[in-house]
Amino acid sequence: MDRLQAMAIFLAVVEEGGFASAARKLELSAPMATRAVSELENAMGVRLLTRTTRVVRVTETGARYANDCRRILADVAESEEAAAGSHGEVRGRLVVTASSVFGPMRVTPIVTEYLRRYPEAEVECRFVDRVVNMIDEGVDVAVRIGPLQDSAYQARCVGRVRRVVCASPCYVARHGAPSSPADLVDHTVVMANGITPSVDWRFVVGDQATVVRVRPRMTVSSNEAAIGAALAGFGLTRVVSYMVDDHLASGRLVEVLRDHESVPLPVHVLHHEGRHAARKVRAFVDLASQSLRDDRLLHWQADARMAHGD
């Protein structure tokens, strides 16, 4: 079997989690898919997959080889497009991820504009409150808020946001506003379980960082629910600034402890293909980067020192 075809079949088995599903995706027979992977393993003398009667798992060597296959096949496809004179066209399926709040609010408009510009493109949006493994889950582009944990990705910093403690005016009128982070122990707190839920809230008092362990009376599964409880006057909550900008501007919520907030959180657009990125990825990253850099809600006290590195 052609080596590139075998690589494509192996990659499909890894991404689909099994031979049968990979065969259906590629419109092949399951025995052909099995034979292709066996030929690769025999040619290289290594085990790429661990097979049992119930599950197929990729080995450590297989995972590295899958990454290489993904890059090689993308390079071949791009070379063929260039030779055919279609190098400048944006087409194909793109998978984009962001958080469950930021995605619908800020990424969806970018996706629809991308699709309007490029009629041959398709986009799958995965808006979830967890850190997605982009390579393992087949994600092309991610928009993430907060410090980056993995330096292997290509990242563009497009802005920054901050954490906001807020409440309704009626709550503040009844209970007063905390004047320092330590006063939170005397207030009703609503907390959302996000990507990294924690009862430790970080602040700055004077020039020193401090941690306050809050005791939430109400814990909810989404930021929207926490904001809703705050709007209803139940208590204080802490969310990211872009989530409540409209409520703060209208006066439905008021901010407290602003002078004690910790450092802003960076916003990045990530992809993992480097200079080998397909045209569809480069086009989306360029559009998303420009759109988010133009978004005033992502530039809290932005200044000339802020880096916009690629």
Strands 218-220 and 189-192: what pairing? parallel
> Which H helix or E strand runs over 292?
helix 279-293
What would be the CATH architecture of the domain defined by 3-83? Answer: Orthogonal Bundle (1.10)
The answer to pTM > 0.85 is no
Q: 92-157+267-298: same fold as 3-83? A: no
- Return the CATH number of the domain spanning residue range 163-260: 3.40.190.290
Exposure b/e, 11-36, CB count within 10 A at least 16 = b: bbbbbbebbebbbeebebeeeebbbb
Residue 113 tokens read as: 């504009």
| Tens of each residue's pLDDT in the chain, 310 residues | 688 999 999 999 998 888 988 998 888 898 999 999 999 999 999 999 998 877 889 999 999 999 888 888 877 876 776 665 544 578 889 999 999 889 999 999 999 999 999 999 999 999 988 888 888 788 999 999 988 876 667 889 999 999 999 999 999 999 999 999 999 999 999 998 865 556 888 898 877 888 899 999 999 988 999 999 999 999 999 999 999 999 999 999 999 998 898 888 899 999 986 655 688 999 999 999 999 999 887 875 443 333 333 3
Q: Any idea where the domains of the chain sit in the sequence?
A: 3-83, 92-157+267-298, 163-260
- CA dist 243 and 192 (Å) reads 13
Give residue 17's region: left, alpha or beta (phi > 0; psi -120 to 50). left
CATH class of the domain whose range is 92-157+267-298 = alpha beta
